[in-house]
Structure 1
């Protein structure tokens, strides 16, 4: 990253451990696999009169954002925010794990003002360690899905993805309707699952499934292992072989990635199993160490604005606001859900990852 303004605020005791654990649990989430830095040039625009975004008049018109993508959406959001406020945004683009690693390295001299993650438990961890700055008065926060965001305003999930079964339409003419279908002999050796130590969304699915089914839920993953389901890197690495036809399906596929590939003409589609799946919210949080508080707040306001939520929908993600529907994809009311317990998922993620990794060795 370029020369950022930093401060000397240290992180609370225990944060290193929390982030170190998170690195092993939520590396990829639903974000891009790229790891790029960007100095996004500020537009020569006056602050917006639109009351959906705070009118920013800070002397230092600057903001540092670490974003877990998707990359194209992240840049469009930055561009829209800069155009409305005149604030110059410097963005680090990477996976959730790379963001957490960078924050860990910078903990004695924090740089980032706002983080956008692809893992709800990671945002919960930041809140629990006292690292977030509450902003309960954020514009449109009352319209957010209450299950995805913090009622005290410590993090705001402005978008989400759902996890399903992605399949190659040339190889699979009758798509499965249940997770259990993937244990059938005809699918032996034809299925990928993202690695939960690299993919936060894969971990969300595994822990969400277990929080709903209990200890007996492990039998599904044992059957997956017996059917030669392959643990195949992060989300895009697991999906690419299905796009090319080297594999037939992906378990716990991130739906927006599949929708985007389908829109490009690739022979893929996605189904949501009848017994239910897990939604992976994408939370944004203001860091307590921010030196650009008003700019950070106006950025959250923009994320929750009509304009930004439209960008979310165009990127094939679920909008975070309940009053806005997604286009060209399944909406929340069309997706059967497991009764996922996010508190249990957060507390047990490390143990689940360890057991899953050992099972698939």
Structure 2
């Protein structure tokens, strides 16, 4: 068994597939890694319960959960997409959390049946190079091919957030969305891997805009001095919640419930805000970088059930018709 273990207090990073401590709470979590490590370390110090972490993308977490379906390992899962949590709920793989007391939170972020609860959220908009900060482009300009600069988008096959962005636009207006994506691709839009790689390419000047950028990653780069601006187009931007759920198969449900409650504590929610995510608690202020950015004129919330039903079809079509397609340059088609 190939196991990579890093001790952080009594929090362990799980690289293999077997339990090494039956008392340990096993948590599968989407990033950012330092955030979940800090929250888990605080929880272990407070409750004396060891935690084993597996941190990966939402897609990788779902693949691991599916591979372990008949020999479950995880107690808790934290996704960067409510569509993934809804997939588990619809398969009866999550336990109900309707009796778990919560502080005041953004209640409409949670599953109405309370099988998963949103611990935080992020918005998906446009990262701009500071040289283009005064433009404030709306979606029609960005997709039209008339934007004065090179445009990138994280690959939906590598970034769950980019995938959710594509699905949300198609569900909102399918005909217009496919036309927009085709037009932008013909104008030269590229797909440099996941969010982090796309932002790196933006910072070194390969691009001047990244569509479908998740905002907390942009704010983190801005905090570190990167010449970037987070922009929310007037046409509206999708809100992506980050839900937590307890696996119905977990033999440590009491400890798991303690951890979920801890995620909504003031200290954990402050760590979330410090990571530039939107905290679920209404009494925790967003980060200074987020507050310094004009709020989006319109926040869009999609239908999670429709997204779950159509996600696979939409993303396969996007991959073959847009991302991998050989589309004639716009100038050649005029």
CA gap 1:339/1:95 in 2 versus in 1, 3 angstroms: closer
- For residues 220-239 of structure 1, the aligned pairs below 5 Å read 220-239=180-199
CA gap 1:333/1:319 in 2 versus in 1, 3 angstroms: farther
Per-residue CA distance 1:35-83 (angstroms, 9 max, x = gap): x76454438xxxxxxxxxxxxxxx9642111111111111111111112
Query: Aligned to 1:261, which of 214, 221, 227?
Result: 221
Query: Aligned to 1:215, which of 168, 171, 175?
Result: 175
CA gap 1:81/1:97 in 2 versus in 1, 3 angstroms: same
Alignment partner of 1:74 is 2:21: no
CA gap 1:334/1:176 in 2 versus in 1, 3 angstroms: closer
Alignment partner of 1:124 is 2:92: no
Q: Which residue of 1 aligns with 2:272?
A: 312
User: 1:144 is paired with a residue of what secondary structure?
Assistant: coil
Q: Which residue of 2 aligns with 1:279?
A: 239
Unaligned runs of 5+ in 1: 4-35, 44-58
TM-score (structure 2 length as normaliser): 0.86
User: 1:166 is paired with a residue of what secondary structure?
Assistant: strand
Per-residue CA distance 1:335-356 (angstroms, 9 max, x = gap): 2213522222221111111221
Output the CA distance in 2 between the equivalents of 1:333 and 1:173: 12
Q: Which residue of 2 aligns with 1:30?
A: none
Q: Per-residue deviation at 1:255?
A: 0.3
Please provide the CA RMSD for this pair.
Answer: 2.4
Q: Is the 8 A contact 2:232 2:295 kept in 1?
A: no
Q: Which residue of 2 aligns with 1:42?
A: 10
Moved more, 67-76 or 294-303: 67-76
Aligned residues: 312
Query: Aligned to 2:284, which of 324, 330, 342?
Result: 324
User: 1:280 is paired with a residue of what secondary structure?
Assistant: strand
Output the CA distance in 1 between the equivalents of 2:238 and 2:306: 14
- Give 4+ residue runs of structure 1 displaced > 4 Å after superposition: 36-40
Unaligned runs of 5+ in 2: 12-20, 326-334
Q: Is the 8 A contact 1:164 1:277 kept in 2?
A: yes
Output the CA distance in 2 between the equivalents of 1:213 and 1:245: 32
